Structure 1
Amino acid sequence: MAASKPKHIVFDIVGTLVAYDKIWEALDTRLGDKLRAECIKPSLLGYTWLEATEREYTYLSLSGRYVPFIRCFETLFWRMLWMAGIKEPREFATKEDLDYVMEQYLLLEMRPGAKECVEKLRGAGFTVWAFTAGDLNRVGGYFKHAGVEMPEGNLLSCDTIGIGKPSPEAYMPLLKQLREDGGEPWFAAAHMWDVSAARTTGFKGAYCTIWEKEPLQELFGDMEVIADTLPEMADKVIAAVS
């Protein structure tokens, strides 16, 4: 009997397996009443801060001036307060407020069903990889805190190659490595921009709506698997290769 082909799946981490809630909670703890007095929801400020960071991080990478994501995130805080309508951001919030939010950023927690998702895939014979825009120590800490094993060699960061997702060049080295092992590797994310970009390079795509809710396939194209929860996504990926 011929040996079965190796099965590999690569996960985006922050936003996919790991939730952003600690950032919203930190903003609420330090600035919630002041923000609401300005008709600013802490969660919406947090979301726009993250989205603006993803843009600036990506643009810097595309222009050949790669800067780690966490540095972009911290640096943009005062600009985001300005964009939210705060006339004097550095008087509205203190450096201690920002330091607290950044400390909580190191303590983000796994999404519901994330651990089960990984366990299902490993139980079905998949080797699970993690490919993040975050730094390895921080993201590795999320796995350790949740009690989810992630071998050091399977945790990869854009920081290592100095090219940010969603540039095709960011995905290609890992895709090439996994294809040399045989099989057709999968990429899984709760960011449609991320998984759809990986799919254009040759990965099969698995998308979970847990973060963005709307897949927007009219913008991002087709996908092999779409699911509303992480365990359901694992089940569909397993079924697709069985």
Structure 2
Amino acid sequence: MASSKNVVFDIVGTLVSYDHLYDAIDRRLGDRLRAELIKPWLLGQLWMETAEREYTNLSIAGRYAPYAEVFESLFYRILWMGGVQKPRDFASPEDLAWIMEEYQKLTMRPGAAECVQKLRDAGFTVWAFTAADLKRVGGYFAKAGVDLPAENLLSCDSAGVGKPDLAAYKPLLERLKAENDGKTPWFAAAHMWDVSAARTAGFKGAYCTVLENEPLHNLFGDMDVVDDTLPGMAEKIIAAQAASYDV
């Protein structure tokens, strides 16, 4: 029998860390970047944040493109924005291909598997809703030994609408409510913009500060649950669900 308690996770940035990618940039380009007074980690952040922005902008403009395509395409632009005057002389296509291959090897955050297990032990069905491609994200779970049924792993690519467009969240929200007597599911993320948008769409919102540190409630509003760790967030979701009438 299906559970009437559901929690939908963002994956990359939330349960999965970007650290391996940033370390890979350092291993491949670190000495070259530091000679340009550019911190490899900061360049990685610039690349990731800009890719998220352009992915969203393309979706809003009706020109949806898969996130990995956007991310890879921006590489030389990001080098130029970071201060490299001749990016294509600075880094080769082989450098980019190697970094993109390492991008496939991201790992789960400490506490991510525990977080998922706590929720399952409390009777929650766990879902994943990502802007990334399903094969890559499914690989992250498999490598970590965390079981996630294929039918519970969903991507924005399927509908061609990117988060945080409210239209990206609403089909899953409506589906889960319809299958569970109108009971409201949770959305959990370490991106405040993501969980804020999901909450605006109608989910209950759970936010973990592990990625961004500063919740910025003045910009993104209140959350139903906030915690500094993934297991702590899971415990608060369980407690809040038990305390509510919507069980």
- TM-score, length of structure 2 as denominator length: 0.96
Structure 2 residue identity aligned to 1:235: E
1:226 counterpart residue number: 226
Structure 2 residue identity aligned to 1:228: D
Superposition map of 1:55-94 within 5 A: 55-94=53-92
Q: For residues 87 and 154 of structure 1, what CA distance do their matches in structure 2 show? A: 45
Superposition map of 1:114-153 within 5 A: 114-153=112-151
Cα distance, 1:181 vs structure 2: 2.0
In structure 2, do the counterparts of structure 1 residues 79 and 140 end up closer, same or farther at CA, with 3 Å as the change threshold?
same
Structure 2 residue identity aligned to 1:229: T
Aligned residues: 240
With 181-190 and 135-144 compared, the bigger mean Cα shift is at: 181-190
1:54 counterpart residue number: 52
Structure 1 residue identity aligned to 2:88: R
Q: For residues 81 and 142 of structure 2, what CA distance do their matches in structure 1 show? A: 36
Query: Which secondary structure does the structure 1 equivalent of 2:171 belong to?
Result: helix
1:30 counterpart residue number: 28
Cα distance, 1:190 vs structure 2: 0.1
Q: For residues 99 and 239 of structure 1, what CA distance do their matches in structure 2 show? A: 45
Structure 1 spans left out of the alignment, 5+ residues: none
Structure 2 residue identity aligned to 1:82: W
1:17 counterpart residue number: 15
Query: Which secondary structure does the structure 2 equivalent of 1:112 belong to?
Result: coil
Deviation string for 1:160-212 (max 9, x for gaps)? Answer: 00000000000000000000122210000000000000000110000000000
Structure 1 residue identity aligned to 2:138: G
1:155 counterpart residue number: 153
Q: For residues 101 and 217 of structure 1, what CA distance do their matches in structure 2 show? A: 35
Structure 2 residue identity aligned to 1:142: Y
Structure 2 spans left out of the alignment, 5+ residues: 243-247
1:194 counterpart residue number: 194
Cα distance, 1:4 vs structure 2: 11
Superposition map of 1:175-194 within 5 A: 175-182=173-180, 183-194=183-194
Structure 2 residue identity aligned to 1:226: V
Cα distance, 1:5 vs structure 2: 7.2
Q: For residues 22 and 34 of structure 2, what CA distance do their matches in structure 1 show? A: 13
Query: Which secondary structure does the structure 2 equivalent of 1:8 belong to?
Result: strand
1:217 counterpart residue number: 217
Structure 2 residue identity aligned to 1:17: L
Superposition map of 1:201-212 within 5 A: 201-212=201-212
Query: Which secondary structure does the structure 1 equivalent of 2:108 belong to?
Result: coil
Superposed CA RMSD in Å reads: 1.2
Structure 1 residue identity aligned to 2:206: A
Answer whether contact 2:3 2:124 (CA < 8 A) is retained: no
Q: For residues 98 and 117 of structure 2, what CA distance do their matches in structure 1 show? A: 33
Query: Which secondary structure does the structure 2 equivalent of 1:226 belong to?
Result: strand
- TM-score, length of structure 1 as denominator length: 0.98
Answer whether contact 2:164 2:193 (CA < 8 A) is retained: yes
2:100 counterpart residue number: 102
Q: For residues 118 and 29 of structure 2, what CA distance do their matches in structure 1 show? A: 40
Deviation string for 1:18-69 (max 9, x for gaps)? Answer: 0001111111111101101111111100000000000110000000010000
1:167 counterpart residue number: 165
Answer whether contact 2:3 2:123 (CA < 8 A) is retained: no
